[in-house]
Structure formats: C-alpha cells, structure tokens
Amino acid sequence: MGMITGKADIGYTTSGSLTGAGAISLGDLLQNPSAAFQQMNSNVSANAAGMMIQAITFNAGAKIFRKVMSKPFREANKVIRPLGLGVAL
C-alpha cells in the first residue's frame, strides 16, 4: 500500500546524489519518473541473482513436495470424494 500512498520524496541533492530512493512510490513515479526508473533499475540489478536463486529453489521444492505428498493426498481424496463436497487436495 505504501507504493500508492507514499510521499513523493525522490530527487537529487546539490551534489548530484539521489535521495529518497529507499522506497519508490506512485508519487515518485509521477513527480520524477527518470530518477524513479533509475532507482528501480538499480534495485533490480542488485537483487536479480537472489530472486533467480529463490525462484529456482522454490520450484524445485514445490516439485519435491508434490511428489512426496501425492500418496497422502490421493488417500485423503478417496475419503473426501464420497462426501460430495466437490473438493480435492
């Protein structure tokens, strides 16, 4: 919610360094789009490797979880199906 309601505080100091770029808000995008996009690009570059590793490990974990839990889910579905609830695990 802070992205929408946040204060527009991004800008440059007299020395040319970027200020208020800790969190980019909608106001920042509207007030100073070039500085906001520059900071977003910097954030993506800094965090891309970590996000990629997390995505890969999450997908691998999800596949392992599905494989390990397939039999318990199948057994639970056998119990649930006659109840006619229209729910399956």
Report, as an integer, the average pLDDT of 52-59.
Answer: 96
Cα–Cα distance measured from residue 45 to residue 43, given in angstroms and rounded to the nearest whole number: 5
Task: Categorize the per-residue pLDDT at 1 as very low, low, confident or very high, splitting at 50, 70 and 90.
Answer: very low
Report the pLDDT value the prediction gives residue 74, as an integer from 0 to 100: 94
Task: Categorize the per-residue pLDDT at 56 as very low, low, confident or very high, splitting at 50, 70 and 90.
Answer: very high
* Residue 89 lies inside a defined structural domain of this protein: no
Q: Could you list the beta-strand ranges (E) of 1-89.
A: 11-12, 18-19
pTM, two decimals, is: 0.51
Report, as an integer, the average pLDDT of 13-35.
Answer: 72
* Residue 38 lies inside a defined structural domain of this protein: yes
Q: Does the pLDDT of residue 39 top 50, yes or no? A: yes
Domain that holds residue 74: 2-83
* Residue 58 lies inside a defined structural domain of this protein: yes
Q: Count of domains in the chain?
A: 1
* Residue 19 lies inside a defined structural domain of this protein: yes
